[in-house]
Amino acid sequence: MDRDARNGNKVLRELHAENYRAIFLSADISLEEQVRDAVETIEKEFGALHILVNNTAAFVFGSYDVEWSDWNRILSVNILGTSLCSKFAIPVMVRSGGGAIVNVSSIGGLIAQERSLPYNTTKAALLGFTRCLAMDLASQKIRVNAVAPGCIDTPQLRVDLESAGMTFEQGLIVEGPLHMLNRYGTADEVANAILFLASDEASFITGTCLMVDGGYTAK
């Protein structure tokens, strides 16, 4: 489920080519009706729901001077969107016998970063959301965890570097050493952490956050 129908359908075609059963739903998770309809479609199509990954991504940077409209945009996606997806998915997960929720936070949810007040605030809120929801759902056999990526080589990172007037190589020189492993992470490395937390191999893990940050926050 995503707003980006072009890339969403591209991934769908790739999955179908590998003989996976999958559907793509275009939805804005800040809109309650669209989230509700999407989850209803999922239950009708598959008959059950066991895993929810809340990977929301609205990016607003700045400090106390950020406009209210920008605050409203990032809160409506990163926080309220996550809560809406959870609100409608959880009853289906309960009917399905349990499962796992993984919320994608960030190292920004645990540390201070310059001119990152709105974004880091939402990612910190997701950690509190994760812990409280884990407590509420433990009796329903639903585990809730989070991952906190460091700097990950994604299209958004490259857009941010370009906006800052930097090439990828220049960004790596500056940001790579902030991580003990002296590089950017990859999307696959974050995906593997999410897969672990969603799997039965993590059956005794709930209410926690897995750092996927190359040692950034351990320094």
Across the chain, which has 219 residues, the per-10-residue mean pLDDT values are 90 96 96 97 98 94 96 97 98 98 98 96 98 98 98 93 93 97 98 98 98 97
pLDDT of residue 57: 85
Domains in the chain, start-ordered, CATH in brackets?
48-218 (3.40.50.720)
By three-state DSSP, how is residue 149 classified? strand
pLDDT of residue 181: 98
**Rounded to 10 degrees, what is the CA torsion of 145, 201, 193, 95?**
-50
pLDDT of residue 66: 97
User: pTM of the entire structure?
Assistant: 0.96
Residues annotated catalytic, as ranges: 119
Counting DSSP H helices and E strands in the chain, the numbers are 8, 6
Give just the sign of the alpha carbon dihedral 80, 134, 4, 192. positive
pLDDT of residue 148: 98
88: Cβ–Cβ under 8 A, 6 or more apart, which residues? Answer: 35, 36, 38, 39, 40
- Residue 201 contacts residue 92 (beta carbons within 8 Å): no
| Separation between Cα atoms, residue 217 and residue 5, nearest integer Å | 35
**Sheet of 51-54, strands arranged across:** 51-54, 99-104, 142-149, 209-212
User: Measured between alpha carbons, how far is residue 71 from residues 76, 108, 110, 116, 125 in Å?
Assistant: 8, 16, 19, 12, 14
| Separation between Cα atoms, residue 190 and residue 132, nearest integer Å | 23
User: Measured between alpha carbons, how far is residue 89 from residues 34, 106, 133 in Å?
Assistant: 13, 23, 13
User: What's the longest Cα–Cα distance across the chain?
Assistant: 50
Q: Per-residue pLDDT tens for 78-130? A: 999 999 999 999 999 999 999 999 999 999 999 999 999 999 999 999 999 99
171 token code pair: 């960004």
